[in-house]
Amino acid sequence: MKVLVVGSGGREHALAWKLAQSPKVQVVYVAPGNGGTALDKRLQNVPLTDPEVLAAFVEREGVAFTVVGPEAPLAAGIVDVFRARGLRIFGPTRAAAQLESSKDFAKAFMHRHGIPTAYYKTFASAADAHAYIDAQGAPIVIKADGLAAGKGVVVAMTLEEAHGAVDMMLADNKLGDAGARVVIEEFLEGEEASFIVMVDGKNVLALATSQDHKRLLDADAGPNTGGMGAYSPAPVVTPALHARALREIILPTVRGMEKDGIPFTGFLYAGLMIDPEGNLKTLEFNCRMGDPETQPIMARLKTDLVDVMEAAVDGKLDQIELDWDRRTALGVVMAAFDYPENPRRGDAITGIPAETDDAVTFHAGTTLQDGTLRTSGGRVLCVVGLADTVKAAQKNAYAAVEQIRFDGMQFRTDIGYRAIKR
């Protein structure tokens, strides 16, 4: 069978890599893909992004089903376009994707359905937002309502930063429409974890637990990024916490969406904040898998992903049980020069080791130009190591990282430190 993965990042490479391992699969198309998906003989890049054009391609090629990686095509309605043509696709509709594409929608939804989250208010007027910040004090968190490619959240430790964020979004319009409204919310403290499940409209299937590192520099210092590394499982998510996250956040969300007339299908990712007493709050929803969380998660999945996806598309997730490699998988992101500010493109990449049973490299911002692999985005690679302990998985990942070279490469040297401390 032929299947299609939409997207071009490390998450999509990992999904395509896993789908290609299925004996049922003849080819995995990746649209548009990257240098790594171009190099893998079982995968085939397709230079298309427009949903209607992709749907026509799927019809022409007889693609059995499509999996969507990133939020942008979901928020633009790719699932609606495919479904209208009777094509099988896994992801949320445009309306359901608002859980990620509008912070105000997500907060109002959580409020309405009693799902724990930080206290908040939404503003379109800069003057009102400034007055609210003065009344609340710092620290406080300012979030652009819309999708802003990771630039829409300012965790302000001072009033000055908070006012600056409001001016940037509401007065100076730096984020365009995405920042035309802002959500201002209470600052939460604790440890974050990513809780990712698959939803088929009714049934929920939890994936293995994971945790990522959002800050650029070691010891979680420096600016926020899309994620500099991730590992699975995440020991912070104990079995008790896992059950609470399902009961208090995921199930009420799935039921709430159904009740509101916009049933959720697709990957649902709740960013959790776990306070020192072990209580949970929802930081955010994503309507897709995490990147880089997907890379270690896929590295551990033993079940045939084709079976899982077909069950998901057909509303039969209750018939699937996932089988995981018991080892820890730990992924280190190698980023381009000047990421996240202004990542440089075009640097030649060498030394990526061949895949082994305990290390695999997924590509993100790479492109293959006349046989040379070059950087083409902020996060360039995610190098995943597998082993029986977090420490040994870390060692395997960094052993592979050490072999890879490109000018200006940046990576953290401490991915997994929280899990090792436990």
Alpha-carbon span 267 to 79, nearest angstrom: 13
**Quick one: 145 or 293, whose CB is closer to ligand GLY?**
293
Contact call for residue 286 and ligand GLY (CB under 6 A): yes
Interface pattern 205-244 for ligand GLY (x via CB under 6 A): -------x-------------xx-----------------
Residue 214 touches ligand AMP, criterion: CB under 6 A: yes
User: For ligand AMP, which residue of 92, 271, 378, 416 counts as binding (CB under 6 A)?
Assistant: 271
Bridge partners (DSSP) listed for residue 90? 67
Q: Does 192 bind ligand GLY (CB under 6 A)?
A: no
Instruction: Give CA angle at 413 (410, 419), nearest 5°.
Output: 135
Question: Between residues 226 and 365, which has the closer beta carbon with respect to ligand GLY?
Answer: 226
Q: Is 293 in the site for ligand GLY (CB under 6 A)?
A: yes
- Report the C-alpha gap between 311 and 64 in whole angstroms: 13
Indicate the residue among 133 and 237 with the shorter CB distance to ligand GLY. Answer: 237
Q: Is 281 helix (H, G, I), strand (E, B) or coil?
A: strand
* Residue 283 binding result from ligand AMP, ligand GLY, none, given CB thresholds of 5 to 8 Å by partner type: ligand AMP
Does the footprint of ligand GLY cover residue 33 (CB under 6 A)? no
CB 265 within 8 A of CB 257: no
Nearer to ligand AMP, 269 or 406 (CB): 269
Strand blocks (E) in 188-232: 191-200, 204-206, 211-212, 215-217, 221-224, 229-232
Q: Is 140 in the site for ligand AMP (CB under 6 A)?
A: no
Q: Which two structure tokens, joined as six digits, stand for 272?
A: 């959790």
Size of the site for ligand AMP (CB under 6 A): 15
Q: Which does 212 bind (CB under 5 to 8 A by kind): ligand GLY, ligand AMP, none?
A: ligand GLY
CA 303 centroid distance within chain: 21
Ranges within 305-324 binding ligand AMP (CB under 6 A): none
* Inter-residue contact 102 to 121 (CB < 8 Å): no
Neighbours of 157 (CB within 10 A): 12
Residue that is written with structure tokens 């009033």 in the block = 159
Residue 153 binds ligand AMP, judged by CB under 6 A: yes
Q: What is the DSSP letter of 280?
A: E
> Is residue 188 part of the contact set for ligand AMP (CB under 6 A)?
yes
Q: What is the closest distance, in whole angstroms, from the C-beta atom of residue 64 to ligand GLY in the complex?
A: 27
Instruction: Establish if 118 lies at the interface with ligand AMP (CB under 6 A).
Output: yes
Stretch that binds ligand GLY, among 19-27, 135-143, 285-293, 403-411 (CB under 6 A): 285-293
Structural contact between residues 128 and 171, judged by C-beta atoms closer than 8 angstroms? no
192 binds, among ligand AMP, ligand GLY, none (CB under 5 to 8 A by kind): ligand AMP
Q: CA 56, CA 4: separation in Å to the nearest integer?
A: 13
Q: What is the C-alpha separation between 230 and 208, in angstroms, rounded? A: 12
Non-local CB neighbours of 109 within 8 Å, separated by 6+ positions = 99, 115, 253, 256, 257, 260
Identify which of residues 222 and 353 has a Cβ nearer to ligand AMP in the complex: 222
Q: Does 100 bind ligand GLY (CB under 6 A)?
A: no
Residues 394, 329 contacting (CB under 8 angstroms): no
In the set 12, 185, 291, 310, which binds ligand GLY (CB under 6 A)? 291
For ligand GLY, the closer CB: 290 or 296: 290
Pick 80 or 185: Cβ nearer ligand AMP = 185
The residue among 211 and 328 lying less far from ligand AMP, judged by its C-beta, is 211
Question: Is residue 155 near ligand AMP by the rule CB under 6 A?
Answer: yes
CB atoms within 10 A of CB 197: 22
Helical H runs in 154-264?
Answer: 159-166, 239-245, 251-259
Asked if 123 and 132 touch (Cβ cutoff 8 Å), the reply is yes
153 pairs with which residues across the strands? 143
Interacting residues with ligand GLY (CB under 6 A): 212, 226-227, 286, 290-291, 293
* Residues within the interface to ligand AMP (CB under 6 A): 118, 141, 143, 153, 155, 185-188, 192, 214, 224, 271, 283-284
